Amino acid sequence: MEKANLDWSNLSFAYKDTDYNVRCYHRNGEWGELEVSSSNTINLHMAATALHYGQEAFEGMKAFMGKDGKIRIFRWEENARRLINSAKGIMMEPVPEELFKSAIIKAVQLNEKYVPPYGTGASLYIRPLLIGSGPRVGVKPADEYLFMVFVTPVGPYFKEGFNPVKIQIARDVDRAAPQGTGRYKVGGNYAASLGSGVRAHDEGFAACLYLDAKEKKYIDEAGPANFFGIKENTYVTPKSDSILPSITNKSLQQLAKDMGLKVEQRPVPVEELPTFDEVGACGTAAVISPVKEIQDRDTGDVYNYGDKPGTISTKLYHKLQAIQNGDEEDQHGWVLTI
Ligand code: PLP
Ligand code: COI
């Protein structure tokens, strides 16, 4: 397979066209055929609920090229189930797991020449998305849905890569309400985070760190990633109903246990920030982004974790990547080789 002509080692997390994407409609109570398209646009009714009432959910996952020339997809079942959950959360038609699986495999295989070569640090980002495509003018769920998958080759989400970033606590913005949609991967959550995210960037930070909306007492998560802290041989990560259940975080918790660390998933008060030895943001796009500094925009408090990635974060990062690339045995059955 001839590879696309790209500067693989210097890719950023940005959209690049590939050759094909896949689509499937749910109409009249059933899913249709999976269609392959070479167009990057869709033809959409102007009254589609996705455009008016936010019926949109997406997923993010990655495919990796191994040393053995095989392509590996990480924990697709988890993403499939989360999309089902997101769909139900905003009254959309859930995509059956098997349809999800065939769509992502097809999208990856058709674009094999865009899977970044082993050793470049890049991967093929897979973006499944589901939208209400049927027209409504009253506030009601659509009667037609469109499921799509596109792929795009990417490098690190934060330009720093595996180098520590600064993040900013913003108390004047809520990303998600306590009983709202924060636990679903729906577009509206990201719309709610754009203003504070752009401001954080303008003020020199890689991302915003949100606190719980009700009390502003506990850490929720960063704009595009979950939060973790490490101290006393323990991996600590927030438990909250308004954050996305990150598959990377879940995997890191398992890897931390495998390494003999304790794992605590519980409310994490802001006052605990000075006690961590290491802090990181984790997610599919972010992988692990070590955090060197957290600034509280409103109180002026600053928390520092050092300019170098911490020992445990580094170990976790390498272990996760080794499994994803196929360099190490996939003990937990996380990887689908295609
Ligand atoms: N939190 C938010 C808000 C996200 O957008 C993401 C990215 O998917 C994550 C956390 C990390 O989740 P995952 O590890 O499943 O990619
Ligand atoms: C991911 O990590 O897959 C995400 O969706 C985060 C961000 C790009 C929204």
Percent of the chain with pLDDT over 70: 100
Same domain? For 228 and 267 the reply is yes
> CB of 59 closer than 6 A to ligand 1?
no
Helices 97-110 and 76-89 cross at an angle (nearest 10°) of: 120
Same domain? For 321 and 277 the reply is yes
pLDDT, mean of residues 263-286: 97
Which of 265, 263, 317, 308 is closest to 287 using CA atoms? 317
- pLDDT per residue over 138-188, tens digit each? 999 999 999 999 999 999 898 888 999 999 999 999 999 999 999 999 999
CA angle 198, 203, 204 (to 5 degrees): 100
Residue 1 lies in a domain: no
Residue 73 lies in a domain: yes
Contacts of 186-192 spanning 24+ positions with Cβ under 8 A? 186/54, 186/56, 186/57, 186/58, 186/86, 186/89, 186/90, 187/54, 187/56, 187/57, 187/58, 188/54, 188/56, 189/244, 190/223, 191/54
Between CA 222 and CA 226 the distance in angstroms is 6
Same domain? For 309 and 170 the reply is yes
The answer to whether 150 and 21 are in contact (CB under 8 A) is yes
Percent of the chain with pLDDT over 90: 97
Find all residues with CB under 8 Å of 333, minimum gap 6, and list them: none
pLDDT, mean of residues 127-143: 98
Residue 337 lies in a domain: no
Same domain? For 88 and 182 the reply is no
Same domain? For 201 and 274 the reply is yes
Same domain? For 58 and 116 the reply is yes
**What distance in angstroms lies between residue 190's CA and the mean position of ligand 2's atoms?**
10
Last residue of a domain, one of 109, 129, 154: 154
Is 67 considered catalytic here? no
- pLDDT per residue over 192-203, tens digit each? 999 999 999 999
User: Structural domain of residue 74, as residue ranges?
Assistant: 8-154
Same domain? For 292 and 241 the reply is yes
- pLDDT per residue over 221-251, tens digit each? 999 999 999 999 999 999 999 999 999 999 9
Last residue of a domain, one of 154, 185, 211: 154
CATH number for the domain that contains residue 75: 3.30.470.10
Q: Residue 158 CA: which ligand is closest?
A: 2
Residue 2 lies in a domain: no
CATH number for the domain that contains residue 218: 3.20.10.10
Same domain? For 13 and 141 the reply is yes
Number of domains in the chain: 2
Residue 333 lies in a domain: no
> CB of 116 closer than 6 A to ligand 1?
no
Q: Look up residue 100 and give its amino acid.
A: F
The pLDDT value given to residue 161 = 81
To test the ligand 2 pocket, which listed residue (75, 86, 104, 157) has its Cβ within 8 A of the most ligand atoms? 157
Residue with tokens 């897979």: 126
pLDDT, mean of residues 312-335: 97
Same domain? For 188 and 103 the reply is no
Which atom of ligand 1 lies at the shortest distance from residue 244's CA? 1
Last residue of a domain, one of 154, 183, 205: 154
- Band (54; pLDDT cuts 50, 70, 90): very high
The pLDDT value given to residue 159 = 82
Residue 226 lies in a domain: yes
> CB of 285 closer than 6 A to ligand 2?
yes
Same domain? For 175 and 317 the reply is yes
- pLDDT per residue over 87-117, tens digit each? 999 999 999 999 999 999 999 999 999 999 9
β-bridge partners, 227 = 281
Q: What is the pTM of this model?
A: 0.97
The pLDDT value given to residue 2 = 87
Same domain? For 176 and 211 the reply is yes
- pLDDT per residue over 1-38, tens digit each? 789 999 999 999 999 999 999 999 999 999 999 999 99
Q: Is the model's pLDDT at 310 over the cut of 90? A: yes
The answer to whether 171 and 35 are in contact (CB under 8 A) is no
**What distance in angstroms lies between residue 138's CA and the mean position of ligand 1's atoms?**
31
pLDDT, mean of residues 262-282: 98
The pLDDT value given to residue 156 = 87
185, 216, 217, 315: the catalytic one is: 185
Residue 51 lies in a domain: yes
The pLDDT value given to residue 296 = 98
Average pLDDT, the chain: 97
Residue 57 lies in a domain: yes
Same domain? For 244 and 147 the reply is no
